[in-house]
Amino acid sequence: MFGVIAEFAGADELIAAIHRAREAGYTKMEAYTPLPLHEVIEAIGHKNRLPLLVLLGGIVGALTGFGLQYWVSVIEYPINVGGRPLNSWPSFVVIMFELTILFAAGAAVLGMLALNGLPRPHHPVFSVEGFELASRNRFFLMLLHYDPQFDHVQARTLLEGTETLGVQEVPHA
Amino acid sequence: MTDRAPTVDPGPAPGASPAGEEFIAPGHSLESVTDKISHLVLTRRTPRGWWIGFAISFLLAMLLVPSVGVLLAKGTGVWGLNVPVGWAFAIINFVWWIGIGHAGTLISAILLLLRQEWRTSINRFAEAMTLFAVTCAGLYPLLHMGRPWLFYWLLPYPNTMGTWPQFRSPLVWDVFAVTTYATVSALFWYVGLIPDFATLRDRAKSLPFKRVYGILALGWRGAARHWDRYETAYLLLAGLATPLVVSVHTVVSFDFAAGIVPGWHATIFPPYFVAGAIFAGFAMVLTLAIPLRQFYDLGDFITRRHLENMGKVLLATGLIVAYGYAMEFFFGWYSGSEYEHSMLSNRLSGPYRNYFFALMVCNVLAPQLLWIKRCRTHMGWLFLVAMFVNVGMWLERFVIVVVSLSRDFLPSSWDLYEPTKWDWGLYVGTIGLFLTLIFLFIRFLPVISIFEMRTLAPQSSEGNGDEADEAADREGGAS
């Protein structure tokens, strides 16, 4: 079994259920919502490392931009323009800037996908009946099987004690 | 004219009330928003108006076949350009399209950062507009090369010729700026679409559509941790796109301002170009939004407040552009340079003076109508002003490029420029291509961001008795 999932009609019921599961000692769970909700993310508890990746992407981009232009203009293909210095760094700023943006944006998108484990065409949660409503108006909470204290009967009882519209067991796909 | 004194602040209403109600009609919920927008895409019936519009656009786009074919077979000589006007339609249209694209980024990124909620219903197609406009823009420099298959010579790569790009040239900066802009715009647009692809995957009835949207959704399942990273990525992309959009048009203006031609060599160019780009782009957003709202009955989501706000932005940027024209004249005169003086008199009374006066009517006079609230909120008037601005911004680039180049320093090298049918064919062809892509977008992708519209709706479904029973039934079937 992959986990036990409960369906909710609204975000408030979902958040109440998350707190309930937390109090019962569950640590491994995932909520599914049709829209990003800060209260849910806070209740689930998540440390986001993406900003650091984007910063690193930007720094690598800036260094790449400067390195490329310095190497081409000073070492590989020096052209004397009116006796001006070969390392004319002010004119390198524009391309450094553009590559900073390009690399940081790439890090933001690829980093988001990689940390999210996407693309992943199939996931056990897709076998849940009615899960297609998670992209419309329903909210779901799944207690995951790798939680140290996971026991599917207890998990089920816990979720059934919340304001849920229904509880299902999720098999491994 | 009304009797109201035109004392309204032209700025984009910084103190606008953040209440969501005015940007979405009352009575909408998570499910009604989802169903209404996804229905536009998933419906089996394609409206007749769509077919007519698509057919006309596609026919116009087909003009690209002879225009590009003849160009490649015979070379850029088929265009009207020749020394001294070596940069005519190719760069005018490039700058025109890039400028149009900028409003998409502005609406998506800058208004997101400024927490202007009203952007939500217009950002998706504004971003699509950006992407398609940049596609059209990119065609021009490529085709102007004459041998577009050698475009990669622009990029720095080790080659057997032993040469490298000149990194001190604004033209090389432009290569980096425009390719970065195209890439980041595409990423921003696609990332914004991922949750909506998942919505369409879950709603689609036919298997092929389910599959295609499923692949595009990358397996999105709306997990809370995913949303957290997703929102961060989206916000950071917006933060990155904001300075990018300013830098792109600044670099485009450097293509001119770094040259010594009178009429180009001006420090006002970067801000004046950026404002002009936003001006042109908002005009194009209005040009697309007004018919879209009318034909697809989207008045609930694209409300009069949206259109009025866009009208205000149009007026504000129009005034900045008018200030740019005034400063061009002031510094031309103040420079004391006889070449600058003759450039100004050439604009006002030279062979192209009609273009200049038409430009003043389109870009300076027409937007003044937007001081009047009734014009800002009336679809017909707004559309009319937007069309004037679309034409006016094209004329602006014509005046800057052609009028300046046709008479530079030596009277012996002066010459007039006359566009040929191939110039026009390519221009009209790219308009057709742009509209064709817009029509395809309207048919196959959600024109309004569904998940962002959900954030404007009350965040709970009713969960009435029937649905609860259904859920209870399902529960019984679990293993």
Task: Label residue B459 by pLDDT band (50, 70, 90).
Answer: low
| A118: phi then psi, degrees, rounded to nearest 5 | -110, 155
Range of the domain at A61: 50-116
Asked if A135 and B461 come within 8 Å (Cβ–Cβ), the reply is no
Asked if B221 and A32 come within 8 Å (Cβ–Cβ), the reply is yes
**What's residue B4's pLDDT?**
39
Indicate which of B163, B199, B459 best probes the interface with A, i.e. most A CBs within 10 Å of its own CB.
B459
Residue B95, CA distances (Å) to A102, B127, B396 in order: 21, 18, 10
Which of A96, A116, A136 is the endpoint of a domain?
A116
- Give B219-264 pLDDT, tens digit per residue: 888 888 888 899 899 889 888 988 998 999 899 899 889 888 888 8
Looking only at the bridges linking them, the beta strands covering A166-170 and A29-32 are: unpaired
Mean pLDDT, residues B47-55:
87
Which of B297, B38, B470, B170 has the alpha carbon at shortest distance from A168? B470
- Is residue A77 less than 8 Å (CB to CB) from chain B? yes
Which 129-168 residues of chain A touch chain B by CB within 8 A? 129-138, 165-168
Residue A108, CA distances (Å) to A50, B187, B220, B240 in order: 7, 10, 17, 10
Give yes or no for residue A106 having a pLDDT over 90. Answer: yes
Residues of B in contact with A79 (CB under 8 A): 166
Residue B328: how many other CB atoms lie within 10 Å:
21
Which of A84, A100, A116 is the endpoint of a domain?
A116
- Is residue A72 less than 8 Å (CB to CB) from chain B? yes
**Quick one: closest CA in A to B35, which residue?**
A136
Mean pLDDT, residues A25-38:
84
**What's residue B30's pLDDT?**
74
Indicate which of A28, A30, A98 best probes the interface with B, i.e. most B CBs within 10 Å of its own CB.
A98
Comparing CB atoms, the residue among B35, B230, B247 nearest residue A36 is B230
- Give B305-340 pLDDT, tens digit per residue: 888 888 998 999 999 999 999 998 998 899 888 888
**How far apart are the C-alpha atoms of B208 and B202, rounded to whole Å?**
13
- Is residue B29 less than 8 Å (CB to CB) from chain A? yes
Comparing CB atoms, the residue among A81, A105, A126 nearest residue B184 is A105
> What one-letter code names the amino acid at B76?
T
Residues of B in contact with A162 (CB under 8 A): none
To the question of pTM greater than 0.80 for the whole model, the response is yes
Which residue intervals of B204-222 are DSSP H helices? 207-217
Task: Label residue B470 by pLDDT band (50, 70, 90).
Answer: very low
Q: How many domains does chain A have?
A: 2
Task: Label residue B478 by pLDDT band (50, 70, 90).
Answer: very low
- Is residue A2 less than 8 Å (CB to CB) from chain B? no
Average confidence score pLDDT of chain A: 86
Residue B470 CA neighbour count, 13 Å, CB half: 11
**Quick one: closest CA in B to A49, which residue?**
B229
Asked if B462 and A169 come within 8 Å (Cβ–Cβ), the reply is no
Residues of A in contact with B471 (CB under 8 A): 7, 130, 165-166
- Is residue A171 less than 8 Å (CB to CB) from chain B? yes
Asked if B227 and A168 come within 8 Å (Cβ–Cβ), the reply is no
Give yes or no for residue B362 having a pLDDT over 80. Answer: yes
Mean pLDDT, residues B190-199:
89
Give yes or no for residue B387 having a pLDDT over 50. Answer: yes
A104/chain B closest Cα distance in angstroms: 8
Burial of B32 (0-12, 13-18, 19+ CB in 10 A): middle
Residues of A in contact with B470 (CB under 8 A): 130
DSSP string covering A72-83: IIIIIS---STT
Asked if B223 and A171 come within 8 Å (Cβ–Cβ), the reply is no
- Domain residue spans in chain B? 27-155+195-459
Q: Is the separation of the CB atoms in B262 and B405 below 8 Å?
A: no
Asked if B471 and A44 come within 8 Å (Cβ–Cβ), the reply is no
Comparing CB atoms, the residue among A30, A37, A123 nearest residue B225 is A30
- Of A80-89, B108-117, B170-179, the poorest mean pLDDT is in B108-117
Which one has a higher pLDDT value, B172 or B455?
A: B172
Residue B379, CA distances (Å) to B158, B286, B400 in order: 55, 9, 32
Residues A112 and A130 in one domain: no
Which of A116, A131, A148 is the endpoint of a domain?
A116
Comparing CB atoms, the residue among B168, B461, B462 nearest residue A88 is B168
**What's residue A96's pLDDT?**
95
Comparing CB atoms, the residue among A31, A48, A88 nearest residue B229 is A48
Average confidence score pLDDT of chain B: 83
Indicate which of A5, A73, A86, A94 best probes the interface with B, i.e. most B CBs within 10 Å of its own CB.
A94
Asked if A77 and B164 come within 8 Å (Cβ–Cβ), the reply is yes
**Quick one: closest CA in A to B189, which residue?**
A109
Residues of A in contact with B30 (CB under 8 A): 34-35, 136-137
Asked if A10 and B233 come within 8 Å (Cβ–Cβ), the reply is no
Q: Is the separation of the CB atoms in B454 and B34 below 8 Å?
A: yes
Which of A45, A39, A14 has the alpha carbon at shortest distance from A137? A14
Task: Label residue A54 by pLDDT band (50, 70, 90).
Answer: very high
Residues A85 and A27 in one domain: no
**What's residue A40's pLDDT?**
81
- Give B147-158 pLDDT, tens digit per residue: 889 888 888 999
**What's residue A62's pLDDT?**
95
Residues of A in contact with B164 (CB under 8 A): 72, 76-77
This complex has an ipTM of: 0.90
- Is residue A97 less than 8 Å (CB to CB) from chain B? yes
For B198, which DSSP code? H
Indicate which of A112, A113, A170 best probes the interface with B, i.e. most B CBs within 10 Å of its own CB.
A112
- Is residue B462 less than 8 Å (CB to CB) from chain A? yes
Which 30-49 residues of chain B touch chain A by CB within 8 A? 30-31, 34-35
Which of B197, B129, B192, B121 has the alpha carbon at shortest distance from B444? B197
Two tokens, residue B465: 């008795």
Task: Label residue B37 by pLDDT band (50, 70, 90).
Answer: confident
Residue A24, CA distances (Å) to A4, A157, B304 in order: 15, 11, 50
A19/chain B closest Cα distance in angstroms: 15
**What's residue B394's pLDDT?**
93
Under 8 Å CB pairs connecting chains A and B tally to 221
| A170: phi then psi, degrees, rounded to nearest 5 | -110, 115
CA angle, corner B33, sides to B32 and B38, nearest 5? Answer: 100
Asked if B195 and A171 come within 8 Å (Cβ–Cβ), the reply is no
**What's residue B26's pLDDT?**
65
**Quick one: closest CA in B to A12, which residue?**
B460
**What's residue B317's pLDDT?**
92
Mean pLDDT, residues B419-427:
91
- Of A42-51, B8-17, B448-457, the poorest mean pLDDT is in B8-17
Asked if B227 and A133 come within 8 Å (Cβ–Cβ), the reply is no
Task: Label residue A173 by pLDDT band (50, 70, 90).
Answer: low
Give yes or no for residue B472 having a pLDDT over 50. Answer: no
> Which range scores top for mean pLDDT: B42-51, B127-136, B386-395?
B386-395
Task: Label residue B442 by pLDDT band (50, 70, 90).
Answer: confident
Task: Label residue B435 by pLDDT band (50, 70, 90).
Answer: very high
**What's residue B458's pLDDT?**
64
- Is residue B205 less than 8 Å (CB to CB) from chain A? no
Comparing CB atoms, the residue among B232, B247, B455 nearest residue A97 is B247
